[in-house]
Structure 1
């Protein structure tokens, strides 16, 4: 049975590749790319089809700058990112992507340009672009596909992912400016978190995010429990909030930490917005922390990105001054010695204390609108 399933998957993959090559060849013969004219563009659709939260958090920086210049911004993405964008004033419409979805509503929008941020090349994506029929499709590393125009080349493991987004903004003649992510505020998430934020003025909130999308980047239960025990031995009052799915965190049975049972992506945003310090492996929580300038200790391994093969710890670094990034040689983040993790957290807590004493720590907790972001 296993062999039959393997053969069926191989057959389907071969058919999709054949269909991609056929459609791409036909489009290469029939497409006549128009000269790039940003002054004629009004309606923009951003593609984030894989529903990856970290990618979407960073994409909000591009959406913010384009929206502030008067462009009408829509996003096509999955259900989690749809929820993340529900309260974003930078995005006018969010559409939920499905391979079998009807495109009638999207086609009625008559988008002037679609921006595809991914390096992915497949039949479903090319067919979607063909059927939407925008005037332009901005794409990265899509040589040999005439449907993508303008095309941008970006493969550099030494430059941060925001540089890819800056390349897009340059096409719209937007001058280099601080690239700030733009996350809205879900009232129901604020209400869900409120009981956990009632605390004495001298109590710190330490948020720990144990989980990522890959086991080799996850913290172990032993690391989290050990860090909490270490924090409890300090002569400072702490409250530890865990970020993640309630069903997974409940299994860990950590008595000295709280978590939101019915957590959502937007409760995670509010925890990061409210925390005094976040501790996390390489995942979307890192970029949420950047959005609010929340002090951060982030742990990365040296794994390579699936789509490009590039090492991810430079491209997806926290990329702001209030973050500490540890890159470990061990294959798994769970192999990081507890002493090293505790030392990094102690150093960051000392740094936060110094900044507070000197009035140097600036937070962006309440920034939820375009005007808020302009006034930072």
Structure 2
């Protein structure tokens, strides 16, 4: 049983290899995952996962209830590598009553009988360590994409607009400090057009910001798939890009899984010693620029593009 109810798409992508690698080595093992409502569609698409348990409410009693339900399935092992656990998380894990509980930096809690020490290594290494504790052999830590449903409309859009060389750029992250302002967005388009006059610029979007982008960005300088609804659409849009530009968000991890050249932006108070757990894995093709408080601190003219 994996506890993955954080609701973050990037976390799903980065940790997706564990289900595949478990089934490779022990096909008979039953894998269950506790998920959030907003990401359950991703986990449903992974054929290596056998059971899903959705946290409909974020309250302690609701977590106790779902833990009691899971306990009836008699899971032997629970893995939760969350750094900061809430009381509801502890209640959930305790309610499952597994013989083995593996946590991250939780050696002060008797609930966990296996523990991964705090470190500044990539999160995939923590998952690998957890499986090593259980006797697994070395594994491939590359991300797995789910079975992406076919979108005929998107396929036509890609055939009409993305058969030539193009750059995919994303202006938004989950937190306010990760969002480029409208002025910075226009500055990005101008710089990319100046440096890459023959390349198309694909602006990535999602339902909440599509109209905002269309109203603020200069027409004729970019293309956009207005009907982007899920991360599956974004995966297909990034698939053939020659360069992906984005704040720290799931798009960075998608591009990393495709081994794309990436320009990414991360917040840190110490660029000489950044937090490494969620950096893209293909470091050789990645340029990372750090900011201290807000992504708009970055001087776009200082970004090396070619």
Please state which band the TM-score falls in when normalised by the shorter chain: 0.7 to 0.9
Alignment partner of 1:61 is 2:27: no
| Matched residue, 2:135 | 173
Measured after TM superposition, the shift of residue 249 of structure 1 is 3.1
Alignment partner of 1:93 is 2:56: no
| Matched residue, 2:259 | 293
CA 1:90–1:239 in structure 2 vs 1: closer, same or farther (change >3 Å)? farther
1:267 to 230, 233, 236: 233
| Matched residue, 1:115 | 79
Q: Distance between the aligned counterparts of 1:122 and 1:57, measured in 2?
A: 23
1:326 to 282, 288, 291: 288
Measured after TM superposition, the shift of residue 242 of structure 1 is 2.5
Q: Alignment partner of 1:316: what SS? A: coil
Q: Distance between the aligned counterparts of 2:263 and 2:114, measured in 1?
A: 38
The correspondence of residues 186-335 of structure 1 with structure 2, limited to 5 A, is: 186-188=148-150, 190-199=151-160, 203-234=164-195, 237-252=198-213, 253=215, 254=217, 255=219, 256-302=222-268, 313-321=275-283, 323-335=285-297
Measured after TM superposition, the shift of residue 244 of structure 1 is 3.1
Measured after TM superposition, the shift of residue 141 of structure 1 is 1.3
Q: Distance between the aligned counterparts of 1:291 and 1:93, measured in 2?
A: 25
CA 1:251–1:297 in structure 2 vs 1: closer, same or farther (change >3 Å)? same
| Matched residue, 1:156 | 119
Measured after TM superposition, the shift of residue 302 of structure 1 is 1.0
Structure 1: give runs of 5+ residues left out of the alignment. Answer: 1-44, 305-310, 348-376
| Matched residue, 1:132 | 96
CA 1:340–1:164 in structure 2 vs 1: closer, same or farther (change >3 Å)? same
Q: Distance between the aligned counterparts of 1:115 and 1:182, measured in 2?
A: 19
Q: Distance between the aligned counterparts of 2:107 and 2:20, measured in 1?
A: 28
Matched-pair contact (CA < 8 Å) for 1:202–1:237? no
RMSD: 2.5
Matched-pair contact (CA < 8 Å) for 2:191–2:301? no
Matched-pair contact (CA < 8 Å) for 1:77–1:95? yes
Measured after TM superposition, the shift of residue 268 of structure 1 is 2.1
Q: Alignment partner of 2:78: what SS? A: strand
Question: What are the superposed Cα offsets for residues 231-277 of structure 1, whole Å, 9 maximum, x if unpaired?
Answer: 33456543333223233132132222313335212222222334232
Q: Between Structure 1 and Structure 2, how many residues are aligned?
A: 291
Alignment partner of 1:81 is 2:39: yes
CA 1:322–1:236 in structure 2 vs 1: closer, same or farther (change >3 Å)? farther
Q: Distance between the aligned counterparts of 1:68 and 1:135, measured in 2?
A: 23
Structure number with bigger Rg: 1
Measured after TM superposition, the shift of residue 78 of structure 1 is 0.8
Structure 2: give runs of 5+ residues left out of the alignment. Answer: none
CA 1:78–1:138 in structure 2 vs 1: closer, same or farther (change >3 Å)? same
Question: What are the superposed Cα offsets for residues 178-206 of structure 1, whole Å, 9 maximum, x if unpaired?
Answer: 31111113315x33421331147862232
Matched-pair contact (CA < 8 Å) for 2:166–2:243? yes
The correspondence of residues 14-29 of structure 1 with structure 2, limited to 5 A, is: none
| Matched residue, 1:308 | none
TM-score by length of 1: 0.70
Bigger helix share? 1
Matched-pair contact (CA < 8 Å) for 2:21–2:140? no
Q: Distance between the aligned counterparts of 2:36 and 2:199, measured in 1?
A: 36
Q: Alignment partner of 1:219: what SS? A: coil
